[in-house]
Structure 1
């Protein structure tokens, strides 16, 4: 079915294929988390030692964002997507047959670094969007991204239980990722994002990243909003299991593992935030996103012992986080095509750093003040996010104090290519 979100010259079915690809590939980062106990038992090691597999996944993903995603500004996207899918599939197979936890961690590090394909797809789909429809396209693909992250843990748990071994999760993930090799590259653009852009060397691409943050005010705004909101999101999810397991709630691990499913309706509703961004602009959607997440933390603090309140809050938080990301990326993808992947690199690195900081702070708050400390800390982060646009507006009225969105002294090759129609 043709989607009105893309230009007429874009292949039919591109949006569903991209959404499916992001869901499948992003799940490779998270599906190991419910398997740690089985991995520990299988190798005869402690649970904390098995947790190094999850750590390797996070480190690998961070490395991939910084080291691989910038290549999407210069590489041939069809070839790049094929290579990433092949490497990820091979690493998943290596993990399935790993004879030790050390080799499993190495395989997980590689597969996580190469599974950054969603962050290549997002700027690509923005370039393929019809005029005025970039938000809608990002919303559809971003929903696939969120659903993959939410459902991967449940799926891997069910697969492991059915097969009786954690290795089945790696095998199924390898098959699903390899299957994308037969489909996704056909829908990716065959050439580079901008054929007229100079072929900068790899290290020059990496060296240009800090300058983008200095020169582009929309990128600074999106990075600050993304980091603070995702910090609150991570604070909640990193401590929720401890809260649910402790009295008076006292849920078991099986029920806790399924709790993430309560966020699915909110994540699905966030798809329409892309249309709102097209109609009202990203700033309005960011305001709605922060308000939704703040209301969630109010529920967590006031009625944190109620499973119903927690479920409603999960949906509000999921909606706010996903909607905010769609708005943030819609804002930064107004940049020229040859800059979008690097802009997304800087943005996602800020979001990742914010999430890591939020999880670390939440652990301290939970130990010192319990669940109410986490709720208060998350609320404070969201209040800070609400102040970010105000600070950005004040700074914009005094351009002498900082760079504007399009500084006139940008590199000549940045100014050589006209802005994309999307």
Structure 2
């Protein structure tokens, strides 16, 4: 892959994944317009994340047997239409339904990451994967920050969804013209294709272990972002949507971590790096527990550490699993990212319930338990399940 093609993949993946994060800084505004509580508004994050996991299971494997250029362009065109519908949703229920339909169509980013890993030469696979993942992370940040700023400037959260619809239509047209044509490796029927995912998971212990790391780390990540808007909008902070969205820029360090982690993994140090990053995630929850509702500095440091750790672990995980079966990278992506976003749905749901019941300390308790479980799993199993040479 040329440098320009890597950048294109990174931009496309980032813009695509942004669609499932726009709502996070808008939750308080959406709750106010529809007259619902924090728990109901947080359900948007839950249904979107769960729908994304559903799409990962049913759509992403198709990239191993279909023309990826056609598949990606069609999915983005569908997202454009659905975002236009979200912009005019008349009720909280319909907005949730539209969000649930949107999410399975928005699984373009993992297809692009797997596509990039297929095109990259083996010696640079970790670096290329890290670069594309850094684009995904920037997309997440822009979704939170840009979503909040657009809502503030336009005076309505609906403008965010309208802008997303236009952006996705343009992106679909661009990728249709410039993505390379690559012959698929398999011609399996759809049922056999899905069954083969189960076989791959059963036969690959590295994939199972990395799926577990992904589930636990992203569950904690989603637990934070599903409730942080309510923390920052309440006492003592009282921030508006624009500032809440800008708070997401603290996660820019995650994009740096993605690139650096890729280089370390290419040098054969992925297992050690994974353990260190899981430790950083656990530390982040202690900082955020200290800072929530009292001091902003520990909260800021905790967010930086959380993004750095979770996104670094993500790159280490993907680089490890992409070394397993080159002909089945989209199915491996489905197994890994499906588990990953299922963890996100679980974390968002648990966080919303915890915040409604006992506030921010309960959210930090949920996140800390998830991080401790991931680190314990690495300590017990991380050295015995080795990544094969790529």
Aligned with 1:323 (options 298, 312, 331)? 312
**Structure 1: tracts of 5 or more residues without a match:** 1-5, 397-403, 407-418
Instruction: Tell me how far 1:101 sits from its aligned partner.
Output: 5.4
Distance 1:335 1:280, change over 3 A: closer
DSSP 3-state at the match of 1:91: helix
What's the RMSD between the two structures over aligned residues? 2.9
Q: Which segments of 5 or more consecutive residues in structure 2 lack a partner in the other structure? A: none
| 1:348 partnered with 2:329 | no
Q: Which has the higher helix share?
A: 2
- Residue 182 of structure 1 corresponds to 173
Which residue of 302, 313, 319 corresponds with 1:313?
Answer: 302
Which one of 277, 282, 285 corresponds to residue 273 of structure 2? 285
Is structure 2 residue 50 aligned with structure 1 residue 63? no
Residue 103 of structure 1 deviates from its aligned partner by 5.0
2:140 is the alignment partner of 1:152 = no
Higher relative contact order (CA 8 A, sep 6+): 2
Per the TM alignment, residue 371 of structure 1 is displaced from its structure 2 partner at its CA by 4.1
Give yes or no for contact 2:46–2:349 (8 Å, CA) kept in 1: no
Can you list the C-alpha shifts for 1:161-214, whole angstroms capped at 9, x where unaligned? 3233433222211121111123223443413442xx3x1111221222222221
Residue in 2 aligned with 1:112? 103
Change (3 A) 1:136 1:61: same
Say which is worse superposed, 274-283 or 380-389, in terms of deviation.
Answer: 380-389
1:172 aligns with 2:163: yes
The structure that has the greater radius of gyration is 1
1:382 aligns with 2:371: yes
State the secondary structure of the residue aligned to 1:190.
coil
Aligned residue among 205, 210, 222 for 1:234: 222
TM-score of the pair, normalised by structure 1? 0.81
- Cα distance in structure 1, aligned partners of 2:219 and 2:291: 21
**Range 382-391 or range 33-42, more displaced:** 33-42
Q: For structure 1, which segment, 63-72 or 369-378, has the greater mean C-alpha deviation from structure 2 after superposition? A: 369-378
Q: Deviations over 1:190-249 (max 9, x none)?
A: 13442xx3x1111221222222221111101110111111222223333434444555x3
Match of 1:251 in 2: 238
The answer to whether the 8 A contact 1:217-1:405 is kept is no
Give, in whole Å, the separation in 2 of the partners of 1:41 and 1:393.
46
